[in-house]
Homo-oligomer: A and B are copies of this chain.
Amino acid sequence: MTGYYGEHSKVWVSVDCIIFGFDHGKLELLIGRRQMDPGRGEWSLYGGFVSPEETLEEAASRVLLSLTGLKKVYMRQVGAFSAVDRDPGERVISVAFCALINVKDYDDTLRKEYGLEWVDVQTLPPLYSDHNEMVKQAIGLLRRRIATEPLYFNLLPDLFTLTQLQHVYEAILGEEIDKRNFRKRVKTMHFIEQTSLVDKQTSKRGAQLYRFNKRNLGSSSSFKL
């Protein structure tokens, strides 16, 4: 402690994780009942305080790892939230992060252990503090980014059908897409590769499985899908 900034006050800084998954054809969010005061028992995002020897990104990854067991997850900073009374107990500034995970990779026993639930983003209950606003901004961020970044793969298993991909797309955009136009555009995206495998889970006829190939990403100058 060299005391450069001693005349100024410090504040608590936390991170909150907005964890999106795709299941039941919907975009879903992982939330839980808050385990501490103030606000104990309210629906809430999961978060944690930032310690002196970690970055915000590290803190968010730490929280995410503890909740889901997952590392190397797609994650983006949504923004800092700082209303003076946003936390009813103390002055806490929180930085929201959104993460996209593949629900199938996620160990459901961890979910139960923490008492977490997947809820449809369309029918979110009121959340603790400003967490609803955080979610709203996170969805806005996804919508803006999906046109220029292949986000969707993070929400799907390694192999997926075009129908699944389309549903992810529709869930994020919040609107329906024409199947034929969608498939036409996918054909032009060389980082989406057809495999010879067929999925027969959801249809009698069976659907071709596709795969994301990162190596072909550069070759598509712009993916607007």
Assess A37 versus B80: contact at CB under 8 Å? Given A9-B52, A13-B11, A52-B11: no
Q: 0/1 per residue, A76-109, Cβ < 8 Å to B?
A: 0101101110000111110100000000000000
Assess A4 versus B49: contact at CB under 8 Å? Given A57-B82, A84-B55: no
Q: How far is the CA of A37 from the CA of B13 in the complex (A)?
A: 24
User: Given the complex, which residues of B lie within 8 Å of A11, measured CB to CB?
Assistant: 10-11, 13, 50, 52
Q: 0/1 per residue, A40-70, Cβ < 8 Å to B?
A: 0000000001111111110000000000000
Q: How far is the CB of A149 from chain B (nearest CB, A)?
A: 11
Interface residues on A, range: 35 or more
Q: Indicate if A12 sits at the interface (CB-CB under 8 A).
A: yes
Contact B5 A89 (CB under 8 A): yes
Quick one: closest B residue to A96, CB to CB? B80
Contact B38 A4 (CB under 8 A): yes
Q: Indicate if A2 sits at the interface (CB-CB under 8 A).
A: yes
Quick one: closest B residue to A4, CB to CB? B89
Interface centre among A5, A56, A83 (most CB of B within 10 A): A5
Contact A93 B4 (CB under 8 A): no
| A residues whose Cβ falls under 8 Å from a Cβ of B | 1-2, 4-5, 8-13, 36-38, 49-57, 77, 79-80, 82-84, 89-93, 95, 144
